[in-house]
Amino acid sequence: MRVIVQYYAMLREQVGRNEELRETTAETVGGLYEELARVYRLTMPAGRVRAAINDEFVRWDTPLRDGDRVIFIPPVAGG
């Protein structure tokens, strides 16, 4: 399955890009984060990251589908 992953802020800096088209065997959004954390040595624990699929916030156990656009959201600090 292929998904688009978008990176922001600290994750963008650690991954070294804004976005990638990724071939994955992860079945859930949480599984995808584990995979990315391993590959890119991400320092942010999964428990502090939220996820969105196609611009909707989703739970960590949400199944991935081919073509999904996934955003991982480290702790926010607007305003």
Q: Give me 64's structure tokens.
A: 């991935």
Residues lying near another protein in the complex (CB under 8 A) are found at 6, 8-10, 12, 44, 52, 55-57, 71, 73-79
Nearer to another protein, 21 or 77 (CB): 77
Tell me how far, at minimum, the Cβ of 19 lies from another protein, in Å. Answer: 11
Q: In the Cβ-directed half-sphere of 76, how many Cα atoms lie within 13 Å?
A: 6
Nearer to another protein, 30 or 74 (CB): 74
Tell me how far, at minimum, the Cβ of 25 lies from another protein, in Å. Answer: 26
Number of H helices, E strands in the chain: 2, 5
DSSP letter for each residue of 46-57: GGG-EEEETTEE
